[in-house]
């Protein structure tokens, strides 16, 4: 396959910053970019500067009242009670100066990626600053203000009338995007995440399948806590292939949260780099098989920003760039540049050791995930 | 929580002189399973369920389309008298009625048996879902605590200090050990880590999957 890929980035991306103690830290985007530059995988020509999303574009998904509230919050003019109503001023989504502009750049970056693919400047486009899947129509939640994925899908629907497959492999359920298109049969959402029994947001059960005409176009695979690579890869492989075959999308958008790794502090999933190499590899195949290569990949969660995210997102780009993951050593220049700042030793290799952890309940977990997969795919063969 | 807060006020009813055929049609059209039978002033005198109707209908293997059985009037098959509840009853009280009597639906009435609403098993389950807090984006934390007065405020003060809102609190027994209770919190945050750490530091026993710092490291 002859591919081309664009990497949407500018320093503006990094302004999406709540406070220094907040786990959502966009420094990981910079770390990834520099890692890729150090390996020679990312050239200046591939980098695309994001535009800012207009208010009209935000309003494709968000309520105008919500956008106005974010603008007020941006200038510290929002009262406490208004803030609460819109999910702002909480520990998860605190108010910060110029948050409207920062969040509009996030959405703009994703729209830039969409435009680049739709105007055929490139086949694939990556926007690691995006993937903020918990943003609701009129409520901020789970570190997300504007939902760039939902806005981009609305944009694709209105401007190009394409059938969109959204695949979300963040460890948290992609609730904001799911509910945005719950009754839309032209948008199929597939979210593979840790079960909501313990983890935020709690939704994403296998029986959430969509409403009205959209029934049968929402897929959820809630994995057991402590799921490892083998089980993750096996269910992901079947899920994405069968759903794509059922839906036959025109374009694929992936949300590539990197928080299902066993080092991630916020979740209880236990995958390693092996899963993060496999996820984009298959998404890439699907994009070529069904969508003529049209693929937009977004970032998302990922809270071990030193050991996990740069490598996981680095491999995502490597696949988009030339179809291959890198193996062997991490460039020493990158290690040297960041090792003083990192609170833990940085990984020396692209791949993890064979087994970082060993889970005693592995057999049960694998069995349970497999059962859920069967249940989730129950309707993929019947409808049509 | 009061019955009037969860009941459905929009109730489809029939008269005792209506036919079984009409009832069958209404059940199918509205995808409901019960119809209260009322007289002029909406006073409930009976109730029919989809099972009553089915029992009174001809077999699906007979294909005479205008079966005589369906022309019978509803008062011939309705259950009467009806167990009813009041809008100011507590939800937990009527849960007991559902459980003991094995009903799937209860008409809600005021003076003179005047119908004002209906509560079904489904409404009860929806209430249970709300009580558990799983309908709101939140994280789940379980703590095992000694069963003694004052323990709840000690724990909740930790949540308060971190300015994290609690969506729901449940207290349930710890296995068969009366000396302990399990407290289940659903809290409105995607990042429960600081709270988990505070709870650990304060010496509380967290339950799975947060009871171990590893195998995650």
Choosing from B129, B164, B179, the residue where a domain stops is: B129
pLDDT value of position A226: 93
pLDDT, mean of residues A330-352: 96
Is the CB of A141 less than 8 angstroms away from the CB of B215? no
pLDDT value of position B153: 94
Strands A187-194 and A47-48: unpaired
- pLDDT digits 0-9 by tens, A260-274: 999 999 999 999 999
Asked whether residue B23 falls in the same domain as residue B66, the answer is yes
Domain for residue B214, yes or no? no
- CA-nearest of A5, A15, A2, A1 to A36 is A5
Asked whether residue B83 falls in the same domain as residue B14, the answer is yes
pLDDT value of position B66: 64
Is the CB of B140 less than 8 angstroms away from the CB of A90? no
Choosing from B129, B149, B179, the residue where a domain stops is: B129
Domain for residue B215, yes or no? no
Q: By the 8 A CB rule, do A272 and A350 touch?
A: no
Nearest-Cα distance to chain A for B53, in Å, is 29
User: Using CB atoms within 10 A of its CB, is residue A276 exposed (0-12), middle (13-18) or buried (19+)?
Assistant: buried
Is the CB of B193 less than 8 angstroms away from the CB of A265? yes
Asked whether residue B125 falls in the same domain as residue B196, the answer is no
Q: What is the secondary structure of A246-295 as a DSSP string?
A: HH--SEEEEE-----BTT-SS---BB-HHHHHHHHHHHHHHHHHHHTT-E
Asked whether residue B152 falls in the same domain as residue B104, the answer is no
Residues of chain A above pLDDT 90, percent: 92
Domain for residue B86, yes or no? yes
DSSP one-letter code for B208: T
Asked whether residue B18 falls in the same domain as residue B121, the answer is yes
Is the CB of B216 less than 8 angstroms away from the CB of A264? yes
Token pair, residue A208, equals 């959430």
- Closest CB to A202 among B138, B163, B215: B138
Domain for residue B217, yes or no? no
- pLDDT digits 0-9 by tens, A60-95: 999 999 999 999 999 999 999 999 999 999 889 999
SS3 call for A336: helix
Query: With 60 as the cut, is the pLDDT of residue A1 above it?
Result: no
Query: With 60 as the cut, is the pLDDT of residue A279 above it?
Result: yes
Nearest-Cα distance to chain A for B185, in Å, is 10
pLDDT value of position B214: 52
Question: What are φ and ψ of residue A154, in 5° steps?
Answer: -60, -45
**Distance between CA atoms of residues A45 and A47, nearest Å:** 6
Token pair, residue A267, equals 């979740």
Higher pLDDT, residue B103 or A42:
A42
- Closest CB to B209 among A134, A198, A358: A198
Query: With 60 as the cut, is the pLDDT of residue A382 above it?
Result: no
What is the reported pTM? 0.86
pLDDT, mean of residues A138-161: 97
CATH of the domain at B192: 3.30.70.260
Asked whether residue B22 falls in the same domain as residue B111, the answer is yes
Structural domain containing residue B174: 135-206
CATH of the domain at B11: 3.10.580.10
Domain for residue B157, yes or no? yes
A198–chain B Cβ distance below 8 A for any pair: yes
A133–chain B Cβ distance below 8 A for any pair: no
pLDDT value of position A359: 84
Contacts of B134 in chain A (CB under 8 A): 196, 202-203
Q: Which residues contact A283 (CB under 8 A, 6 or more apart)?
A: A167, A240, A252, A254, A295, A297
Token pair, residue A292, equals 């003529």
Asked whether residue B113 falls in the same domain as residue B152, the answer is no
Asked whether residue B47 falls in the same domain as residue B114, the answer is yes
Asked whether residue B65 falls in the same domain as residue B170, the answer is no
Q: By the 8 A CB rule, do B1 and B127 touch?
A: yes
Choosing from B129, B145, B169, the residue where a domain stops is: B129
Nearest-Cα distance to chain B for A35, in Å, is 24
> A37: part of which helix (H) or strand (E)?
helix A27-39
Q: List the single best residue of B161, B166, B191, B217 to mutate versus A (max A Cβ within 10 A).
A: B191
Domains parsed from chain A with CATH numbers: 5-169+187-192+236-360 (3.40.800.20)
Would you call A124 a catalytic residue per the annotation? no
- pLDDT digits 0-9 by tens, B121-141: 999 999 988 888 888 889 999
Domain for residue B216, yes or no? no
Asked whether residue B148 falls in the same domain as residue B123, the answer is no
A97–chain B Cβ distance below 8 A for any pair: no
Asked whether residue B42 falls in the same domain as residue B100, the answer is yes
Is the CB of A202 less than 8 angstroms away from the CB of B188? no
**Distance between CA atoms of residues A263 and B30, nearest Å:** 51
Domain for residue B108, yes or no? yes
pLDDT, mean of residues A225-230: 94
B163–chain A Cβ distance below 8 A for any pair: yes
Number of domains in chain B: 2
Q: By the 8 A CB rule, do A77 and A89 touch?
A: no
Domain for residue B177, yes or no? yes
pLDDT value of position A282: 98
Q: Which segments of chain B have a pLDDT < 70?
A: 64-66, 212-217
Asked whether residue B11 falls in the same domain as residue B118, the answer is yes
Q: List the single best residue of A24, A170, A200 to mutate versus B (max B Cβ within 10 A).
A: A200
ipTM over 0.85: no
Residues of chain A above pLDDT 70, percent: 98
A52–chain B Cβ distance below 8 A for any pair: no
């Amino acid at each position: 396959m002859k591919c081309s890929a664009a990497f949407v980035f500018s320093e503006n991306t990094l302004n999406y910053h709540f406070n220094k103690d907040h786990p959502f830290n966009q420094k990981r985007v910079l770390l990834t970019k520099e890692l890729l530059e150090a390996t020679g995988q990312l050239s200046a020509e591939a980098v695309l500067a994001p535009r800012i999303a207009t208010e009209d574009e935000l309003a494709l998904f968000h309520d105008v009242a919500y956008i106005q509230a974010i603008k007020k919050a941006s200038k510290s003019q929002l009262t406490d009670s208004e803030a609460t109503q819109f999910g702002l001023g909480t520990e998860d989504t605190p108010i910060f100066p110029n948050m409207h502009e920062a969040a509009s750049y996030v959405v703009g970056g994703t729209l830039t990626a969409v435009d680049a693919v739709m105007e055929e400047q490139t086949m694939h486009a990556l926007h690691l600053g995006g993937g903020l899947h918990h943003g609701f129509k009129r409520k901020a939640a789970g570190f997300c203000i504007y939902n760039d994925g939902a806005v981009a899908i609305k944009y694709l629907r209105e401007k190009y009338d394409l059938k969109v497959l959204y695949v979300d492999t963040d460890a948290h359920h992609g609730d904001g995007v799911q509910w945005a298109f719950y009754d839309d049969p032209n948008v199929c959402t597939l979210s593979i995440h840790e079960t909501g029994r313990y983890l935020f947001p709690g939704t994403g059960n296998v029986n959430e399948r969509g409403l009205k005409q959209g029934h049968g176009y929402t897929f959820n695979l809630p994995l057991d806590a402590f799921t490892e690579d083998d089980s993750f890869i096996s269910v992901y492989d079947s899920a994405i292939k069968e759903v794509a075959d059922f839906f036959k999308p025109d374009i694929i958008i992936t949300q590539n949260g990197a928080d299902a790794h066993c080092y991630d502090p916020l979740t209880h999933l236990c995958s390693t780099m092996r899963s993060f190499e496999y996820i984009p590899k298959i998404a890439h195949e699907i994009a070529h098989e069904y969508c003529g290569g049209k693929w937009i990949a977004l970032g998302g969660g990922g809270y071990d920003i030193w050991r996990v995210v740069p490598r996981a997102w680095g491999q995502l780009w490597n696949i988009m760039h030339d179809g291959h993951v890198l193996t062997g050593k991490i460039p020493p220049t990158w290690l040297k540049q960041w090792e003083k700042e990192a609170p833990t030793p940085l990984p020396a290799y692209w791949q993890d050791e064979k087994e970082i952890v060993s889970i005693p309940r592995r057999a049960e977990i694998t069995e349970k995930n497999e059962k859920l997969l069967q249940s989730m795919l129950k309707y993929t063969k019947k409808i049509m | 929580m009061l019955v009037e807060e969860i009941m459905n006020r929009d109730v489809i009813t029939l008269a005792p002189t209506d036919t079984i055929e009409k009832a069958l049609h209404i059940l199918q059209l509205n995808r409901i399973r019960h119809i209260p039978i009322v007289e002029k002033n909406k006073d409930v005198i009976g109730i029919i369920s989809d099972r009553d109707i089915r029992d009174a209908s001809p077999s699906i293997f007979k294909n005479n389309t205008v079966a005589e059985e369906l022309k019978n009037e509803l008062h011939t098959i309705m259950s009467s008298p009806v167990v009813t509840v009041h809008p100011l009853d507590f939800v937990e009280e009527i849960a007991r009625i559902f459980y003991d009597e094995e009903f799937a639906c209860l008409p809600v009435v005021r003076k003179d048996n005047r119908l004002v609403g209906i509560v079904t098993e489904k409404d009860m389950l929806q209430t249970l879902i709300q009580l558990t807090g799983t309908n709101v984006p939140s994280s789940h934390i379980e703590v095992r605590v000694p069963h003694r007065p004052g323990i709840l405020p000690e724990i909740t003060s930790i949540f308060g200090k971190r300015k994290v809102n609690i969506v729901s609190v449940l207290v349930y027994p710890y296995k068969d050990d009366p000396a302990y209770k399990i407290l289940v919190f659903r809290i409105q945050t995607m990042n429960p880590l600081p709270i988990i750490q505070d709870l650990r530091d304060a010496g509380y026993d967290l339950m799975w999957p947060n009871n171990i710092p590893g195998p995650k490291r």
